[in-house]
Chains A and B, each alone.
Chain A
Amino acid sequence: MLYSLALRNILKSKGRSIITLLLSTFSTILFISYVALMDGSHHQIIKSSVEIYTGYAHIDLKGYRDESGYDNLIEDSAKIEYILKNDTTVKTYSPRFETYALLSGDEKAVGSMIGGIIPSREESLSKLSSSLIKGKYLNDNDKNAIYLGSELAKRLKVDVGSEIAMVGSSIDYSIAADLFTVKGLFKTGLFEFDSQSAFVNKAYLDTVMLSDNIASYFTLYFQDNDKIDKMTADLQASLPSEYEAVNWKQLLKALVQAMLVDSIFGYISISIFFLVIFFVIMIFSYVNIYTRAREIGLLRALGLTSNDIFGMLFVEILLLATMSIIIGTIIGASIAYYYELNPIVISGIAETYKEYGVVSDEIPMKFDLFTITWNALTIFILNLAAILYPISKINKLTAMEAMRYV
């Protein structure tokens, strides 16, 4: 009986129902899209940082991340290569040798990171080759060819074709020096990276640095990078104990934390909005219920208990809330899904936020069913909570008081 009464009430006062419906549908859509946009932009920033150079996970000798000098190198890189080759969860991988050396053009000398990479394998592991802006990317047979960050080239005052000298230290700490010709320039958009990195074919750099079969670390992509923590733990289990597998969450710790702080501020600002929505719904329901005071008094006089009245009004809002949440979620989720596939483009943001690792003008949303579900549930509970106070208030009136209520 309560259901039919509630349903009748909803249908009878269409205007009231539609406003309630719209209010919560709108907040659901807004909440879902807001969170999807926030998560999406964070995801984008992390993804670009990870994919530009870092990679989803690294294998290094324990201690390397604290002291990245020559004391903590992978001395037998073939052994790690063999393990990775036979690991089906690993999609692609490559060793890298990184060192710090002095590069010198005709006029200026600049300290820079020199990376020994296997050019062909890096193509599926980093954005180095696709970030080419001038000249050519490296190939596996290159010898005295160097691939320079565009900002570094500016600092050195060199261009494609220029000759530069490199002076560093071989792994036996003797002086390693060689001349290189600039083969190409790259620009990833990460300013610090572009102004401090240069790359050389590892096979050749190894002859200069005496680092044959030696790597600073291995970078890799898993088959399923979304289950990164499990994948990393599984990989760790297959490694000899002196090595460690670390994923981007640790490698880019500072960035991950910055994103977390940003999310917290995002949630704080959206919760202020929700506080407003909550009170709007509550005041609206309050006014609504009081305009129905006579009707409620009549029902009480006819013999319905205050529990029955509570039940009836609660079912009303339950039906409305359920309906609006369903509609809102469908619309919100569709928006998130659409903009995940077709990201919003705001031209110029990459330029403005490049130091934060924003390398693209595209801001995708993130379509994640778990997030959408808890977003929808939050609005649902908020809706139900908003009605409790008005109902309890009207139920305090006796039947006579309610009927006389103007």
Chain B
Amino acid sequence: MKYFLSLFFITLTLHAGEAQAIIKKLEKNLRGDYMYATMKMIVTSKRGQRTVEIESWSEGNEKSFIKILYPKKDQGITFLKIDTQMWQYIPKIERTIKIPPSMMLQSWMGSDFTNDDMVKESSLEEDYNAKLLSKQGNDATLELIPKPNAAVVWGKIIIDVDLRNAVPRKETYYDDMMQKVRIMTFSKIEQHGTHRVPMVMELKPLDPTKKRNRTKIIFEKINYDTKIDASYFTKQALKRYSR
């Protein structure tokens, strides 16, 4: 009996361990020390479709600098994120503004992402307890429940993982009432240096009032291998790199 019981516990920890290992592998693959990228963000809403072109520099998960390249009206607007704080520079009025906490849940550039999505640095590995729901060949489904003290807004996340490439296929986000609120899908996997990256991400909110909304991000260039100058992650950079 004792033997079976301990075997049972060992299997259980193994399962949890395996899930955690998958998440770790996933994060390691998607995140480099430095990342430079250009991307297109296509926002679809009831009012029509809109494309924004973005250039971004980031260091780890804590620092990032974003510059808007297109449309013309928004060209040169820059964002700086350091830890959980975010600043914005607008060339038209030559002002740098710190985004206050009360605006964090507002939409970012009219997309279905919030300002909070842009700054949050929650690590799936550190903030969530992973559990393996199913595993079959190359596919696995994990359930992530936030750890008691983690500062995250989701009740749980269900991730479908492509094990061979160590990339997510689909992430389903639940709120704290365990209602599905949004789905993010990933596609078009490419090799970039040592990383395998899904070049297309699509976010779809499930709110019935936002039936037509979706935000698609298409990476155009992505580079993990070049060190990014520390000068990008300062408030001076907002104005300096705006042009």
Residues of B within 8 A of A63 (CB): 209
Residues of B within 8 A of A109 (CB): 97-100, 103
Task: Tell me the nearest residue of chain A to B91, going by C-beta.
Answer: A177
Q: Give Cα A178 to B106, complex, Å.
A: 19
CB-contacts of B5-59 with A (<8 A): 43, 45-48, 50
Do A171 and B99 contact each other (CB < 8 Å), given the known contacts A177-B92, A177-B93, A179-B93?
no
Mask, B71-88, CB within 8 Å of A = 1, is 101100100000000001
Q: Which applies to chain B's interface (DSSP): helix, strand, loop or mixed?
A: mixed
Residues of A within 8 A of B74 (CB): 174-175
> Does A171 contact B47, Cβ atoms closer than 8 Å?
yes
Q: Give Cα A63 to B187, complex, Å.
A: 34
> Does A102 contact B100, Cβ atoms closer than 8 Å?
yes
CB-contacts of B90-149 with A (<8 A): 90, 92-93, 95, 97-100, 102-103, 106-107, 109-111
Do A169 and B209 contact each other (CB < 8 Å), given the known contacts A70-B47, A111-B102, A174-B71?
no
> Does B47 contact A66, Cβ atoms closer than 8 Å?
no
> Does B71 contact A165, Cβ atoms closer than 8 Å?
no
> Does B107 contact A175, Cβ atoms closer than 8 Å?
no
> Does A175 contact B45, Cβ atoms closer than 8 Å?
no
> Does A67 contact B97, Cβ atoms closer than 8 Å?
no
> Does A174 contact B209, Cβ atoms closer than 8 Å?
no
Residues of B within 8 A of A110 (CB): 100, 102
Task: Tell me the nearest residue of chain B to A104, going by C-beta.
Answer: B97
Residues of B within 8 A of A243 (CB): none
CB-contacts of A171-186 with B (<8 A): 171-175, 177-179
Partner of B77 from A66, A108, A111, A175 at Cβ < 8 Å:
A175
Do A173 and B97 contact each other (CB < 8 Å), given the known contacts A63-B209, A111-B102, A167-B90?
no
A338 at the interface (CB under 8 A from B): no
Do A71 and B100 contact each other (CB < 8 Å), given the known contacts A167-B88, A169-B107?
no
B213 to chain A: closest CB distance in Å? 9
Do A71 and B47 contact each other (CB < 8 Å), given the known contacts A102-B99, A102-B103, A109-B98?
yes
| A-B pair number, CB within 8 angstroms | 71
A100 at the interface (CB under 8 A from B): yes
Task: Tell me the nearest residue of chain B to A71, going by C-beta.
Answer: B46
Mask, A174-217, CB within 8 Å of B = 1, is 11011100000000000000000000000000000000000000
> Does B103 contact A111, Cβ atoms closer than 8 Å?
yes
> Does A111 contact B106, Cβ atoms closer than 8 Å?
yes
Task: Tell me the nearest residue of chain B to A175, going by C-beta.
Answer: B74
Interface residues in B, total, Cβ within 8 A: 28
> Does B93 contact A173, Cβ atoms closer than 8 Å?
no
Q: Give Cα A165 to B110, complex, Å.
A: 19
Q: Give Cα A43 to B112, complex, Å.
A: 43
Interface residues on A, range: 20 to 34
Q: Give Cα A63 to B92, complex, Å.
A: 34
Residues of A within 8 A of B107 (CB): 169, 173
A17 to chain B: closest CB distance in Å? 69
Q: Give Cα A177 to B74, complex, Å.
A: 10
Task: Tell me the nearest residue of chain A to B72, going by C-beta.
Answer: A174
Task: Tell me the nearest residue of chain B to A177, going by C-beta.
Answer: B90
Residues of A within 8 A of B73 (CB): 174-175
Residues of A within 8 A of B100 (CB): 102, 108-111
Q: Give Cα A179 to B95, complex, Å.
A: 9
> Does A173 contact B88, Cβ atoms closer than 8 Å?
no
B2 to chain A: closest CB distance in Å? 59
B228 to chain A: closest CB distance in Å? 25
Q: Give Cα A172 to B213, complex, Å.
A: 14
Q: Give Cα A67 to B107, complex, Å.
A: 14
Task: Tell me the nearest residue of chain B to A165, going by C-beta.
Answer: B95
Q: Give Cα A175 to B209, complex, Å.
A: 23
Task: Tell me the nearest residue of chain B to A180, going by C-beta.
Answer: B93
Q: Give Cα A165 to B95, complex, Å.
A: 8
Do A173 and B45 contact each other (CB < 8 Å), given the known contacts A67-B209, A109-B99?
yes
> Does A169 contact B98, Cβ atoms closer than 8 Å?
no
Q: Give Cα A45 to B106, complex, Å.
A: 33
Query: What residues make up the interface of B, taking CB atoms closer than 8 Å to A?
Result: 43, 45-48, 50, 71, 73-74, 77, 88, 90, 92-93, 95, 97-100, 102-103, 106-107, 109-111, 209-210
30 contacts between A and B (CB under 8 A): A71-B45, A71-B46, A109-B98, A109-B99, A109-B100, A109-B103, A111-B102, A111-B106, A165-B93, A165-B95, A167-B88, A167-B90, A167-B93, A167-B95, A169-B107, A171-B47, A172-B47, A172-B48, A173-B43, A173-B47, A173-B110, A173-B111, A174-B73, A174-B74, A175-B73, A175-B74, A175-B90, A175-B109, A177-B95, A178-B93
